[in-house]
Structure 1
């Protein structure tokens, strides 16, 4: 996948898919390198994941509509702006998605939150659903689906399919790290879903792990093996 930087300093897919956005901000690149490091402790990994999710969140919410609103500052009356249109719903793909959910909630504390519980079958690498809890009014909300890794893409596809079945029609997928195979899988199944990530790595190994990657995001977030 060929990529280039646009005028804003973000990096977008060129020639393949303009709806795949890769962050190029120096802070994102710095924090992702620390996140990848095997020496990074569990507590530090959590902090970095939360900070990176905020940077990715700014990009994912770049095109939120706003409306004019009149307010009084301590000095005079002025016209400001506030969010308009559809409200937000953040959807975490369990369990690792919760590791970047809090950073998103720091940006939009009033957002509704949904959860899709999926685990990957170790033999088939296919997702198996074990939990689903979503707001009732998804058709009236923009959904931002969060999961630290986009590897094979199967879990992301399954989660987004369930959201669409529940009525969601405006969806963005945000991850910290992706493989081109996962992006291709997701975009083939859901070409209307924009993808925001901090990096695209070279590919997957025989076990479906991203290389060079950062290991198992869930284990590193929660201190498990």
Structure 2
């Protein structure tokens, strides 16, 4: 599995803000938006482009645009925070949705929403989720995408844990990973260490749904 770690100083500074327990919801969202745009920028590096005629105010030249913009698929709920940054970089991208919650007792993903094109054959898909912990939720999402024919899937995650990265690599699924960091371990509650806590709670406040 191809892994890209975006270790740019500006990415590291935004990640630091997100890790800091003193960071409030508003500042966390702002840092996530900045880092999300940086990761999407890097994930898009090898997208196919096409040239077209273009006239500037002074001359005729050629322009560049994406040949086939990717589909952005957030894993709800935390992944929603990465949609606007992705669209700021790729405004003509389509958006699908996969809703997964975490059962706090079993740490397993609980699906509750799926809104995707029926056929993803030949399409590029960016599956976005701030956290890759055990890999359970992301693997569930990527299997859904692969079952619909997707063979070009990029997982864009801000913080990845080594166990989740290993699970993704061992899955045999057609996926590559773009991330800002790979943290070494998970605690007994399956949270990434050092991590940044629950990304969904830090984006939107604590959820009040028991699964």
Taking structure 2 as the reference length, the TM-score comes to 0.94
Deviation at 1:123, TM superposition (A): 2.5
1:55-111 superposed Cα distances (whole Å, 9 cap, x missing partner): 000111110011221111111111232211x33100010100001111001111111
Partner of 2:176: 194
Distance in 2 (alpha carbons) for counterparts of 1:83 and 1:202: 36
Deviation at 1:140, TM superposition (A): 4.0
Distance in 2 (alpha carbons) for counterparts of 1:202 and 1:167: 33
For residues 99-178 of structure 1, what are the structure 2 equivalents within 5 Å?
99-178=81-160
1:29 lines up with 2:12 in the alignment: yes
Distance in 2 (alpha carbons) for counterparts of 1:190 and 1:55: 27
Return 5+ residue gaps in structure 2 as ranges.
none
Distance in 2 (alpha carbons) for counterparts of 1:135 and 1:192: 18
Point out which structure has higher relative CO (alpha carbons under 8 A, 6+ apart).
2
1:122-151 superposed Cα distances (whole Å, 9 cap, x missing partner): 232221211100124422421000000000
Aligned partner of 1:40 among 23, 27, 41: 23
CA contact (8 A) 2:142 2:173 kept: no
Deviation at 1:191, TM superposition (A): 4.7
CA spacing shift, 1:26–1:194, aligned 2, 3 Å = same
Distance in 2 (alpha carbons) for counterparts of 1:87 and 1:223: 32
Taking structure 1 as the reference length, the TM-score comes to 0.88
Aligned partner of 2:3 among 10, 17, 20: 20
- Bigger drift between 138-147 and 172-181 goes to 138-147
The RMSD of aligned alpha carbons is 1.3
1:90 lines up with 2:59 in the alignment: no
CA contact (8 A) 1:154 1:186 kept: no
Partner of 2:56: 73
1:18-51 superposed Cα distances (whole Å, 9 cap, x missing partner): x111111110001100111011110010111011
Return 5+ residue gaps in structure 1 as ranges.
1-16
